[in-house]
Structure 1
Amino acid sequence: MRAYVLGDIHGQIDQLRRAHALIAADRARTGEDAPIIHLGDLTDRGPASRDVIDYLLAGPVAGGRWITIRGNHDFMFRLFLDDPTVQDPGLNPAYTWLHDRLGGRDTLRSYGVDVAEDRPVADLWAEAQGRVPLPHRVFLDNLPLLHRTESAVFVHAGIRPGVPLIAQEPTDLMWIRQGWLDDRSDHGPLVVHGHTALDAPVHYGNRVNLDAGAGYGRPLVPAVVEGRDVWLLTEEGRDPLLPDTAPAI
């Protein structure tokens, strides 16, 4: 089964549109529809989180369906809207979603919220109540934590090795790094994920990391997954992403 896949978007609407254009070009060349799977972290750090959610809410006008996985940044945003005092259990307690390293203020700014550093959190939250549309909240509420096909699992951060998919903890699916990034065991299906930013996508044999750092100004790189085979999409066409023998990071 073919699937088009995008890593972390992080409010980069221009990169999202460019990636979808590359997918449309590949569809035109091959004449085959397939779903587009977005691996989460739609929000934070980039300038246009609201536009990204609007774009994804609009859905496809042609081709296969769109599937959007929940990322940890999407969860933190949604959690803030309900209660700004609640801490995501996966987040280092030294930080909050509004810390500059996380990018929550960038997301609120995209909705028109005044995010001046001296404003109390309660004021930011109160203004956000009137500026974040209900359809955006409902969309974020209903994002799945993973998507499974016969040959691959699509998830934001990864999986806990040795734990059945049905028993995976949501925090692991959205946050895991330790015990996952250095694991080389065969998980059965290929695990396709994002979350840990690299300079470019890497295929480790048992998993593929597609987070190429769009949240830090690098390009959003779309991929095609067919079985366990992976290609990156470029303006020139498909570029095979072959398993790397280097140590996992």
Structure 2
Amino acid sequence: MTPIYAIGDIHGQKAQLDQALDLIAADGGTDARIVFLGDYTDRGPDSRGVIDTLIAGREAGRNWVFVRGNHDRLFTRYVRQGLGHDDNIRSGLHWLNPRLGGTETLRSYGVVGQPQFARHKPGEIEILLRFEGVDGVMEPDDLHRAARDAVPATHLDFLDGLPLTHVTDDLIFVHAGLRPGVPLADQTEDDLIWIRDGFLETGHDFKRLVVHGHTALEHPQHFGNRVDLDGGAGYGRPLVPAVFEGRDCWTLTPTGRVPLRP
């Protein structure tokens, strides 16, 4: 049985991505099939370097598959349209808020500074007042133009062109999860990249094992009907790759495979 490897939310952690790829190569060789689960950007220091690595791998013909995450959509919507909010963010926080990490993403593209917001109440839309950059203060429209000039179109096109799921005989790879009882073809984009409520607590049999990220844990965990591979790299925890043979799963460590069971 040919193994399939998977890497959860990277969140701009280029050095950790390199380490995860080394672990996979040591276990499965340089031609290993890898599925990346989205959220390549935000919070970590080198979103640009992460995307460069992924694009270079695809152009080199590596056996890599990518799905899109919610932070990837936040990033491209801001750069293309100047949208700093998403209705799925219940707190109303702006993408540039440190909790979401957009400022670090822009920093990796050379747009450096600190956002200043109006006083914010939870549930209300957070308003960006200005961006205090290294070369002076920018109004929101000026910042958007600077971001649009700094981010290569190839990066935006790469992220926007990614599928939302990848399906094999035994596995469904998706960023956030699935709405129970809804056929895969009828799942909404917002659910596939944002869902928690209704998915994380369900014991629903999806007919295949669901492999996802999005909900950060202390370490990848197997829940029986799903495996969450977001071990919290966006918060400074290790990026732990996994390997699947059928529905059997192991995490990869420098000393070899470790079984991941319910």
Normalised to the residue count of structure 1, the TM-score between the two structures is 0.92
Letter in 2 for 1:232: T
Letter in 1 for 2:28: R
Deviation at 1:227, TM superposition (A): 1.0
Task: Determine the structure 2 residue equivalent to 1:39.
Answer: 37
Deviation at 1:64, TM superposition (A): 5.2
Task: Determine the structure 1 residue equivalent to 2:105.
Answer: 107
The 8 Å contact of residues 34 and 63 in structure 1, kept in 2 or not, is answered as: no
Instruction: Tell me whether 209-218 or 106-115 shows the greater mean CA deviation.
Output: 106-115
Task: Determine the structure 2 residue equivalent to 1:4.
Answer: 5
Task: Determine the structure 1 residue equivalent to 2:48.
Answer: 50
The 8 Å contact of residues 39 and 155 in structure 1, kept in 2 or not, is answered as: yes
1:73 to 61, 71, 74: 71
Task: Determine the structure 1 residue equivalent to 2:81.
Answer: 83
Q: Percent identity of the aligned residues?
A: 55
Structure whose residues are more often strand by fraction: 2
Aligned length: 240
Classify 1:63/1:223 alpha carbon distance in 2 versus 1 (closer, same or farther; 3 Å): farther
User: After the TM superposition, which residues 1-249 of structure 1 pair with which residues of structure 2 at under 5 Å, given as runs?
Assistant: 1-28=2-29, 33-59=31-57, 65-85=63-83, 87-92=85-90, 94-117=92-115, 118-119=130-131, 120-243=139-262
Higher RCO (CA < 8 A, seq sep 6+): 1
Letter in 1 for 2:96: L
Letter in 2 for 1:80: Y
User: Secondary structure of 1:162's partner?
Assistant: coil
Deviation at 1:63, TM superposition (A): 8.7
Q: Gaps (5+ residues) in structure 2?
A: 116-129, 132-138
The 8 Å contact of residues 33 and 63 in structure 1, kept in 2 or not, is answered as: no
Classify 1:204/1:115 alpha carbon distance in 2 versus 1 (closer, same or farther; 3 Å): same
User: 1: CA distance between counterparts of 2:188 and 2:60?
Assistant: 34
User: 1: CA distance between counterparts of 2:31 and 2:19?
Assistant: 18
User: Secondary structure of 1:9's partner?
Assistant: coil
Classify 1:136/1:60 alpha carbon distance in 2 versus 1 (closer, same or farther; 3 Å): closer
Task: Determine the structure 2 residue equivalent to 1:247.
Answer: none
Deviation at 1:62, TM superposition (A): 8.1
Which of structure 1's runs of 4+ aligned residues deviate more than 3 A?
Answer: 60-64
What is the root-mean-square deviation of aligned Cα atoms in Å?
A: 1.7
Q: Gaps (5+ residues) in structure 1?
A: 244-249
Deviation at 1:91, TM superposition (A): 2.1
Task: Determine the structure 1 residue equivalent to 2:122.
Answer: none
User: 2: CA distance between counterparts of 1:140 and 1:63?
Assistant: 18
User: 1: CA distance between counterparts of 2:178 and 2:21?
Assistant: 27
User: 1: CA distance between counterparts of 2:199 and 2:162?
Assistant: 23
